[in-house]
């Protein structure tokens, strides 16, 4: 009977160990879908964040382009105004030179106003 008892005991141990192993496997498999749901939820949040960042980046790019156009336009205006100031400065310089090189005229002595002739305008 001891041989039969050992066989029965070892069979029981094998069955119990198999049941524990199957239970452990089922427990692990039961938790996998939960982890997968968390993993699939995270990429959605990450992809939304990436899309938001890309949209923000595009807005910044658009704003930079607008600023570059404004700066280019302002530079053209500054160049045009600078050229105008340079032209006016050159004309002013030329006027100053012409006044400096013009002969100094002495004003004639103050003459008395002409004497009235006695005739009124319109009366003939």
Q: Give the C-alpha separation, 49 to 46, whole Å.
A: 5
The pLDDT score that the predictor gives to residue 61 is 93
- DSSP, res 118: S
Q: Where are the alpha helices (DSSP H) in the chain?
A: 2-101
Q: What is the pTM of this model?
A: 0.41
How many Cβ atoms are within 10 Å of 3's Cβ, its own excluded? 7
The pLDDT score that the predictor gives to residue 85 is 96
Residue 65 structure tokens: 């382009």
Of 17, 23, 25, which Cα lies nearest the Cα of 9?
Answer: 17
The pLDDT score that the predictor gives to residue 1 is 46
Q: Give the C-alpha separation, 66 to 49, whole Å.
A: 26
pLDDT per residue as tens, the chain (124 positions): 445 566 677 788 888 888 888 888 887 777 775 555 555 556 788 999 999 999 999 999 999 999 999 999 999 999 999 999 999 999 999 999 998 887 776 665 565 666 666 555 555 4
The pLDDT score that the predictor gives to residue 4 is 55
Rounded to the nearest angstrom, the gap between the alpha carbon of residue 13 and the centroid of all alpha carbons in its chain is 72
């Amino acid at each position: 009977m001891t041989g039969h008892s050992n066989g029965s005991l070892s069979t029981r141990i094998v069955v119990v160990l198999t049941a524990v192993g199957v239970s452990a496997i089922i427990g692990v498999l039961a938790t996998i879908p939960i982890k997968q749901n968390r993993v699939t939820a995270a990429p959605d949040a990450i992809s939304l964040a990436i899309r938001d960042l890309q949209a923000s980046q595009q807005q910044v790019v658009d704003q930079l382009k607008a600023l570059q156009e404004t700066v280019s336009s302002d530079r053209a205006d500054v160049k045009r105004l600078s050229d105008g100031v340079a032209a006016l400065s050159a004309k002013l310089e030329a006027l100053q030179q012409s006044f400096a090189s013009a002969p100094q005229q002495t004003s004639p002595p103050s003459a008395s106003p002409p004497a009235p002739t006695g005739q009124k305008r319109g009366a003939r």
